């Protein structure tokens, strides 16, 4: 029978998953497969898994339980193997890889930072700071029919927005990166976002965690920062 794989842990992780049910319509019991050095947390699965709310929640619940006793190597939602033997073979064949990855994230958690700044605020500032942009905007508002003006203003504003976002992201990365063991910069999503950053932070480093809260607090100037964590270290698996 196919198995769904949630995470890989060290052999000494307690993997307290008794009583937990996993993904899938049947919600099979979550269980553990072990080799001499590693463990895999799995459950039986009979159908193709899709990211339904119930299944995503079940996947995340297992990760959170494992995080209570140490940092696992979490697998992305949807990873399956043909059977138990295939999982055990993978653990044995990739023992060095998994061991190094687990050492990399040991005693840490991921903290995710998203930062944004509203475009209308940036536009007002650009018009205040750049005389040429202000001139073009005034001519357009006064009814100029020159088709080149909106194109030129749009180009100027777009370039300035991109540069200001890059500068803001660089400053925030410079402030936050020293707090973690490692960091990863992700592509931004929303229209107003200028930074998506994952930090790998030791869970017992109260100084770093306090500083993280402080440095992602009120940054002023319309900057909004969303801090999420502690999370399983998905961004630091490779």
d(CA 74, CA 40): 10
d(CA 38, CA 4): 17
d(CA 40, CA 62): 12
What DSSP assignment string belongs to 76-124? PTT-EESSHHHHHHHHHHTHHHHHHHHHHHTTEEEEEEEEEE-HHHHHH
Q: Name the token pair of 111.
A: 């903290």
**Coil, helix or strand at residue 232:** coil
Q: Name the token pair of 219.
A: 């940054």
β-partners of residue 223 are 117
Q: What is the pLDDT along the chain (238 residues), one digit of tens a residue?
A: 899 999 999 999 999 999 999 998 888 999 999 999 999 999 999 878 888 899 999 999 999 999 999 999 999 999 999 999 999 999 999 999 999 999 999 999 999 999 998 888 888 888 888 888 888 888 888 888 888 888 888 898 889 888 988 998 999 999 999 999 999 999 988 788 999 999 999 998 989 989 998 888 767 778 888 999 999 999 998 6
């Amino acid at each position: 029978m196919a198995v769904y794989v949630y995470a890989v842990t060290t052999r000494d992780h307690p993997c307290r998953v008794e009583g937990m049910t996993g993904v899938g319509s049947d919600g099979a019991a979550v269980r553990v497969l072990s080799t001499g050095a590693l463990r895999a947390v799995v459950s039986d699965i009979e159908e193709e898994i899709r990211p339904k709310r119930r299944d995503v929640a079940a996947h995340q619940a297992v990760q959170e339980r494992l995080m209570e006793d140490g940092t696992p190597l979490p697998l992305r939602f949807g990873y399956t193997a043909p059977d138990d033997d295939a999982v055990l073979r993978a653990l044995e064949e990739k023992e060095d890889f998994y061991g190094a990855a687990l050492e990399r994230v040991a005693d840490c958690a991921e903290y995710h930072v998203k930062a944004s700044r509203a475009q209308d605020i940036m536009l007002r500032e650009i018009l205040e700071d750049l005389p040429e942009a202000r001139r073009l905007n005034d001519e357009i508002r006064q009814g100029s029919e020159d088709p080149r003006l909106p194109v030129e203003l749009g180009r100027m504003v777009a370039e300035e927005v991109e540069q200001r976002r890059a500068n803001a992201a660089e400053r925030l990365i410079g402030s936050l990166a020293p707090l973690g063991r490692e960091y990863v910069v992700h592509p931004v999503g929303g229209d107003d976002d200028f930074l998506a950053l994952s930090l790998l932070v030791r869970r017992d480093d109260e100084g770093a965690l306090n500083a993280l809260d402080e440095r992602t607090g009120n940054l002023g100037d319309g900057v909004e920062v969303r801090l999420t964590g502690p999370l399983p270290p998905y961004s630091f698996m490779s």
